[in-house]
Amino acid sequence: MKLYNTMSKKKEEFVPLEKGRVKMYVCGPTVYNFIHIGNARPMIVFDTARRYFEYKGYDVNFVSNFTDVDDKIIKKAIEEGVTADEISKRYIEECKKDMEGMNVKPATTHPLATEEIGGMIELIQTLIDKGFAYEKNGTVYYRTRKFEDYGKLSHKNLDDLRSGNRSLLVTGEDEKEDPLDFVLWKPKKEGEPAWESPWGEGRPGWHIECSEMSKKYLGEQIDIHAGGEDLIFPHHENEIAQSEAANGKEFAKYWLHNGFLNIDNRKMSKSLGNFFTVREISGKYDLQVLRFFMLSAHYRSPLNFSAELMEAAKSGLDRIVTAAENLRFLLKNAQAEDMNESEKDAFAKTREYVENFEKAMDDDLNTADAVAAVFELVKYANTTADGESSREYLQGILDVLVKLTDVLGIIVEKKEELLDADIEALIAERQAARKEKNFAKADEIRNELLERGIILKDTREGVQWKRA
């Protein structure tokens, strides 16, 4: 299996540090709002990578953090007049709901930055002791010039960066020894969450969080470190500088980065009005469609999100789900039990599609070609399975389809439709929750119904509902 390594700018054969195991760290979101569809891309593509490793028999230790202390979280907390902790806890829960909708498996461990401060302080102290960090007025900086390999991941010209950054220095940063030095620990500001440290009360910088959480849950050396390409510099470059200076070992063997997501061929931004949260998308589409859409392109290519492409993804996904439904229907009514000779030959041919699928995935996780192999299999199932087919043949071909779609994280079983009585009962429960002013619960029920394709409309005469 080959993976494109940002470090070497080449596709390299994947060789795990430890036979049969993969240690993988994916930088998680900063939780100050609902996640947007740009956040969804690394979640989906690296979950698919994990699933493929598992398909190949690897035992995968998959760690993905939540950054739950950050300027944006503090700003949001101040706006709402609540604690930063309340904001981060709320959006971690919401993020997990979106992940579930996108069928992203929970990580082996989802560490929270605020629960790992002790380890971060120790790591910073190690860097100071080794001469890789220094303290100035309560702030601890990383000494980039001391780390000779600084810049090896991003392949940037550091002298250009240094002269560029010099003019960008903000007040208070003139105490740095070098413009590229970055913050490991910052002193407390009034009203902000803070922790005790040898350098006074304060909080960690963003980069040190990942170095510590990766080390604690995966060890000093890992196989794969991944994230969006916007993280290459400075975040991942800084993580390497911290981890390798502190541990004296190569940090990660393979660095994987997904490409940008554009909206209607433009960069996603709030000011352009083309900014979408995953939750907003879930109001229009089953999030399986979003997942399928994301996998229709290679993870390193830029991906353009548009209504047209989402519609195409929806009908593509529909074709696969319908084929699986059809096989299940035929299975229920099949007469013959075992495969006859011609069915055995026909079934042997499905091996070709599996091989094509694996070949695509082995080539740097080319999900676009893997999806094409699934479509070929679907076409084959549709043309060879019918009312005459044996149970063994139908089950065999369905199993192959489920096995491959499971690697992509695509669920090919339609959710059971809710009965009218169940819907009425949930609506009554929601009304009761609203009466008690438990709006969180009321919203939860509304969302649950929406996920099952039931749209509610509050009118003066009461609640009306319809199936989407």
> From the CB of 216, what's the least distance to Zn ion, in Å?
14
Q: Kindly tell me which residue out of 26, 27, 287, 294 binds Zn ion, with binding defined by CB under 5 A.
A: 27
> From the CB of 224, what's the least distance to Zn ion, in Å?
13
Minimum CB distance to Zn ion smaller for 27 or for 246: 27
Positions 258 through 287 that interact with Zn ion (CB under 5 A): none
- CA–CA separation, 80 and 82 (whole Å): 6
> From the CB of 193, what's the least distance to Zn ion, in Å?
20
Minimum CB distance to Zn ion smaller for 113 or for 361: 113
Among the candidate windows 22-30, 86-94, 341-349, 391-399, which touches Zn ion by CB under 5 A? 22-30
> From the CB of 210, what's the least distance to Zn ion, in Å?
3
> From the CB of 78, what's the least distance to Zn ion, in Å?
25
> From the CB of 161, what's the least distance to Zn ion, in Å?
20
Among the candidate windows 21-29, 96-104, 120-128, 368-376, which touches Zn ion by CB under 5 A? 21-29
Structure tokens at 361: 């995935």
> From the CB of 27, what's the least distance to Zn ion, in Å?
3
Minimum CB distance to Zn ion smaller for 213 or for 261: 213
> From the CB of 246, what's the least distance to Zn ion, in Å?
16
Minimum CB distance to Zn ion smaller for 230 or for 325: 230
Minimum CB distance to Zn ion smaller for 27 or for 261: 27
Minimum CB distance to Zn ion smaller for 64 or for 389: 64
Site size with Zn ion, rule: CB under 5 A: 2
> From the CB of 19, what's the least distance to Zn ion, in Å?
27
Residues facing 30 on adjacent strands: 67
Angle of CA points 75, 77, 80, to nearest 5°: 110
Among the candidate windows 27-35, 143-151, 156-164, 289-297, which touches Zn ion by CB under 5 A? 27-35
- CA–CA separation, 208 and 240 (whole Å): 10
Positions 185 through 244 that interact with Zn ion (CB under 5 A): 210
49 near Zn ion (CB under 5 A)? no
Minimum CB distance to Zn ion smaller for 27 or for 404: 27
Minimum CB distance to Zn ion smaller for 124 or for 398: 124
Pattern 159-188, Zn ion, x by CB under 5 A: ------------------------------
Among the candidate windows 19-27, 247-255, 393-401, 407-415, which touches Zn ion by CB under 5 A? 19-27
Instruction: For residue 64, report the phi and psi dihedrals to the nearest 5 degrees.
Output: -140, 125
Residue that has been written with the tokens 């992940």 in this structure: 99
Minimum CB distance to Zn ion smaller for 210 or for 287: 210
- CA–CA separation, 406 and 251 (whole Å): 31
Angle of CA points 414, 419, 421, to nearest 5°: 160
Residues facing 203 on adjacent strands: 186
> From the CB of 257, what's the least distance to Zn ion, in Å?
12
Minimum CB distance to Zn ion smaller for 235 or for 430: 235
Q: Where does this chain bind Zn ion (CB under 5 A)?
A: 27, 210
